[in-house]
Amino acid sequence: MSDTIFHKILRREIPAKIVYEDAHLFAFHDIAPQAPVHVLFVPKQDFATLNDVPDSDALVIGRLATAAAAYAKAQGLAEDGYRIVMNCNGDGGQTVFQIHLHLLAGAPLGRFGTP
């Protein structure tokens, strides 16, 4: 059974600026924002990495994306645009091993993907 910092945030054992929660997922501000808006969307179902999500649970990932889009729309960010990112394992830069989706917005974002 995994127990990451995000599980502790969900249980309100450590503080975070939680901006959304429903039966499936929750969202909160990243502690080290990489853009003016940097919110993490985390499912309540446990998966350490994207590699661990079977096709039968694709909806878990889909909900993260649609929740991020809904948040961006509600915050007036959708028209200007935003980026969603999921990091996987070492080369992807994953540091917390409960899957999560980053929403980055609020300014033009630089290109990405090069080592």
Binding positions for ligand 5GP, rule: CB under 6 A? 5, 16, 28-32, 40, 87, 93-96
Closer to ligand 5GP by CB, 18 or 78: give it.
18
Closer to ligand 5GP by CB, 5 or 65: give it.
5
Residue of 7, 38, 100, 102 marked active site? 100
**Distance of alpha carbon 51 from alpha carbon 21, whole angstroms:** 24
3-state SS of 65-99 is HHHHHHHHHHCCCCCCCEEEECCCHHHHCCCCCCC
Q: Is 100 considered catalytic here?
A: yes
- Alpha carbon separation from 47 to 77, 83, 89, 110 (Å, rounded): 29, 22, 12, 29
**Smallest gap, in angstroms, from Cβ of residue 79 to ligand 5GP?**
25
**Smallest gap, in angstroms, from Cβ of residue 40 to ligand 5GP?**
6
Closer to ligand 5GP by CB, 1 or 32: give it.
32
**Distance of alpha carbon 70 from alpha carbon 73, whole angstroms:** 5
The set of catalytic residues is: 100
